[in-house]
Chains A and B, each alone.
Chain A
Amino acid sequence: MKPDLFEAPDYYHLDDLLSEEHLLVRDAARQWVKRDVSPIIEEYAQKAAFPKQIIGGLAEIGAFGPYIPEAYGGAGLDQISYGLIMQEIERGDSGVRSTASVQSSLVMYPIFAYGTEEQRKKYLPKLATGEWMGCFGLTEPNHGSNPGGMETKYKDMGDHYLLNGAKLWISNSPFADIAVVWAKNEEGRIHGLIVERGMEGFSTPETHNKWSLRASATGELIFSDVKVPKENLLPNKSGLGAPLGCLDSARYGIAWGAIGAAMDCYDTALRYAKERMQFGKPIAAFQLQQKKLAEMITEITKAQLLAYRLGQLKNIGKATTAQISMAKRNNVEMAIKVAREARQILGGMGITGEYSIMRHMMNLESVITYEGTHDIHLLITGADITGHQAFK
């Protein structure tokens, strides 16, 4: 793969709006991605393996629970810092960002927000250092966009719960030490349970042959009569709102992450267009290529402003689920379009692993599907503005 020459576009001087700490956190993540992710990621994506050696580095740059308080091993940063870290990681690869999103927003966040003090103390510090990795089990073979219909269930056996069911499409599942699993109790109410690797009846087969997020491990969670200790139930929130609360946090991170992937594609295409000569000129001098590049930077800039404002709202606790949906949907679609156009600018070179664009393009097909599909987010906005839910 070509050396990483990335220069981040900042057309509207968004950096001027960032604090000293934001810049420090962002630049550390940026430098780390250049040093430790870019040189190896293509190889891992090609061989469809998760690069486990970068877990320590992810923890060092604060990618695991940046907004979790310091007392539990987090960094106590604000939401904009979290977003910037996700942006930089996804600039490297959406699969690596997925691992960080899951650990932070889907594993650490529910334990922090819905867990007991004992659970927080037991799990969060080890998750923050990457000593333990987690995964999040909501989606099932028969229930994707409609998780409320889930079939995974548990029974109160007096001194423990008995868990049965299966989850599909679970990021990090093949190597995770713990899983935050959403299941229904006997009354049909959804609760979160922490299931640990090694519990009898719990297995995590890997899903193979993905054309997308190849550097991220995806798999199933299978529970057949798993005895879960009672102290592993997350007691402080139940109902579908509990997992959806985690998704709000992860989707917010994705809204920033997608900008990173788009920036990388744009920057690569811009550099290529200025260097590649055809008909005696750099292809950047042709109007058709300029149109593509000019539209890309316009869309990236709009997405940056959307994410930044959403970050401000999130910092003061005012970002709504519908606002987060809008940003996730807009920014991921933006990134996919940028990736597709950028790939064309590189001509034949665009399909090779020498450049990151095709990898980003394929990764983004997962990103536009998980954490609520593109359609579902549109319906969330639709319901929010009209008052009529159209997805049931």
Chain B
Amino acid sequence: MKILVCISNVPDTTSKINFTEGDTKFDTNGVQFVINPNDEFGLTRAMWFKEKQGATVHVATVGGAQTEPTIRKALAIGADEAIRINAEPTDGFFVARQLAEVAKNGGYDLIIAGRESIDYNGGMVPGIIATLLDMNFVNTCVSLEIEGTDAKAVREIDGGNETIATSLPLVIGGQKGLVEESDLRIPNMRGIMMARKKALHVVEATDAPTMTADVKFEKPAAKGPVKLVDAGNIDELISLLHNEAKAI
């Protein structure tokens, strides 16, 4: 089985978020980047397929040279090869188009992407890859087992789970549940040393239209101070909820 794990390079969750150029660009100054958490759950599940079922695992990302530490980490965790598509990830369609091209050329049986990246939360990439490649697709995937070409996937649905029988080739949009947080791996020194020698291919981007442009980013409004209302004073509470919070 040949697996491609699509990895997005995202700001660490503790990063301070700021925008530049008239609030149209994310300010990366001083920001640390990590493997998108949803992708890391997928990568860790892929490692399981590698170790238990002899799968080959490649990782791919769309991004400039600055994303290489992130994919090198995936190699240190145990992926066999990495591919960097040398382009700025402008929007979901553009990224999916690039990954689909790499996936098509590589002949993968299983493509694991994250349900969404935690930076722009687009949530479109795995679905568009599946569409472009005409593959089966399971989104919000919380469990995946594979026997030969049969796949059993569990999908998170509102208030419960749905178990789906499908087959390879398959694209999944993964998330926590594929593995648990405690299963995530810290690269060890042996892995880091081996990662030095593993191939990191840089390929040029395929022509693809960018269909959207960022017009403006806004941060959520700062939280106001808490107002405490006397327990007996229901009228004031209702008036505040109605007139100030506009919640009722």
Contacts and interface: CB of A to CB of B under 8 A. Distances in A.
Contacts, number: 48
A200 interface: no
B45 interface: no
A23 B70 CA distance: 10
Contacts of A333: none
B188 A61 contact: yes
B76 interface: yes
Given A10-B30, A20-B69, A20-B72, A28 B196 contact: no
B47 interface: no
A70 interface: yes
B55 interface: no
Classify chain B's interface size: 10 to 19
A62 interface: yes
A70 to B, nearest CB: 7
B68 A62 contact: no
Contact of B69 (A23, A66, A76): A23
Nearest to B72: A20
A35 B190 CA distance: 19
Nearest to B182: A35
Interface in B8-61: 14, 29-30, 32
A13 B188 contact: no
Interface string B176-206: 0000000000111110110110000000000
A85 to B, nearest CB: 9
Interface size for chain A: under 10, 10 to 19, 20 to 34, or 35 or more residues? 20 to 34
A24 interface: yes
B73 A32 contact: no
B73 A61 contact: no
Contacts of B14: 7
Contacts of A59: 189
Contact of A27 (B73, B188, B196): B73
Contact of B189 (A15, A20, A27, A66): A66
A13 B69 contact: no
A60 interface: yes
A21 interface: yes
A75 interface: yes
B189 A32 contact: no
A7 B72 CA distance: 22
A76 B193 contact: yes
Given A15-B32, A75-B193, A76-B193, A32 B186 contact: yes
B30 A61 contact: no
A25 B69 contact: no
A267 to B, nearest CB: 11
Interface of A: 7, 10, 13, 15, 20-21, 23-25, 27-28, 31-32, 35, 59-62, 66, 70, 75-76
Interface of B: 14, 29-30, 32, 68-69, 72-73, 76, 186-190, 192-193, 195-196
10 contacts: A7-B14, A20-B69, A24-B72, A24-B76, A28-B186, A28-B192, A32-B186, A61-B186, A62-B192, A66-B189
Given A13-B30, A23-B69, A60-B186, 17 more contacts: A15-B32, A20-B69, A24-B69, A24-B73, A24-B195, A25-B189, A28-B76, A28-B186, A32-B186, A35-B186, A59-B189, A60-B189, A61-B188, A62-B189, A62-B192, A66-B189, A75-B192
